[in-house]
Amino acid sequence: MKAEAFIIHLGRAEARRPQVDRLTATLPLPVNVVDAVDGMALGDDEIEAVYRRHLYGPRYPFALRKAEVGCFLSHRKAWQAIVDRGLDAGLIVEDDVEPVDGSFEAALALAMKTVRAGDYIRFPYRSHTDSGAEVAKAGEATLVEPAHVGLGMQMQLVGRQAAAELLKMTETFDRPVDTTIQMRWRAKVRILAVRPPAVRQIGHLLGGTIVQKKSKPLGEVLSREVKRAWYRLALRVAAIGRR
């Protein structure tokens, strides 16, 4: 199988560069560093060319921040690289991820053995997400087809056909990239997930998030939580209706 790794890294996030170097040295695949799209540097015209609110149902209740648009475009760059390089699959890794010794190697080996051209295999870092029917197993590593796809884009193994399909369906978008992936009925890809977790998120050890967030009044915080809960419920109902 022809496969390579793609580490998404924003140049101005200098505190994360040592982790990029560590990943480059330890990942068991040829590594490419993808220059992440800096959302804060995007102009209004650039954002309007790709982002539209309320394109699809269920409606996503929040406007995207510039950083979220940049994150989405960065993952699109990685998908495009998989297609352009004619790979069978690409391992996409964000720069605040740390593989768990032992379990990661087994999980990646199983994913590489199982992946098809149209597959998108998640490596969640939370143990309580992405539960589902078992698809493949080797030792302690298991691949499942999750009943509900979890959030997060820390690491994924993406087949070439899946990358092409994702590019096609996200020429314009209306919600964050991980929430878009949750709408599995929109893309002709098979979504699988690794269990148990084989990676850790270590952004808190690398200077925290690069997204600047302002404190919000309590009323706004509560309103957002209600809207977020409503959206999660609407998403699950939509998924059930399309099975």
Pairing of strands 119-122, 190-195: parallel
Query: Which amino acid, 37?
Result: V
Relative orientation angle of helices 160-169 and 66-84, to the nearest 10 degrees: 140
Q: Are 33 and 24 in contact (CB under 8 A)?
A: yes
pLDDT, residue 213, reads 55
State the CB neighbour count (10 A cutoff) for residue 71: 24
Instruction: Name residues whose C-beta falls within 8 Å of residue 170's C-beta, 6 or more positions apart in sequence.
Output: 72, 76, 177, 180
Copy the structure tokens of residue 176. 């964050």
Per-residue tens of pLDDT for the chain, all 243 residues:
999 999 999 999 999 999 999 999 999 999 999 999 999 999 999 999 999 999 999 999 999 999 999 999 999 999 999 999 999 999 999 999 999 998 999 999 999 999 999 999 999 999 999 999 999 999 999 999 999 999 999 999 999 999 999 999 999 999 999 999 999 999 889 999 999 999 999 999 987 555 555 667 877 788 899 999 999 999 988 887 676
Per-residue b/e over 80-95, b at no fewer than 16 CB within 10 Å? ebbbeeebbbbbbbbb
Rounded Cα gap, residues 129 and 21, in angstroms: 29
pLDDT, residue 215, reads 67
- The separation between CA 205 and the C-alpha centre of its own chain, rounded to angstroms, equals 20
DSSP 28: S
Q: Are 172 and 50 in contact (CB under 8 A)?
A: yes
pLDDT, residue 209, reads 58
Scan for tokens 């309580």, then name that residue.
Answer: 128
Q: Are 108 and 91 in contact (CB under 8 A)?
A: yes
pLDDT, residue 3, reads 98
Phi/psi zone of residue 91: left (φ > 0), alpha (ψ -120 to 50 degrees), beta?
A: beta
Which residues sit opposite 192 in a β-bridge? 121
Q: Are 130 and 149 in contact (CB under 8 A)?
A: yes
pLDDT, residue 221, reads 85
Scan for tokens 């394109």, then name that residue.
Answer: 55
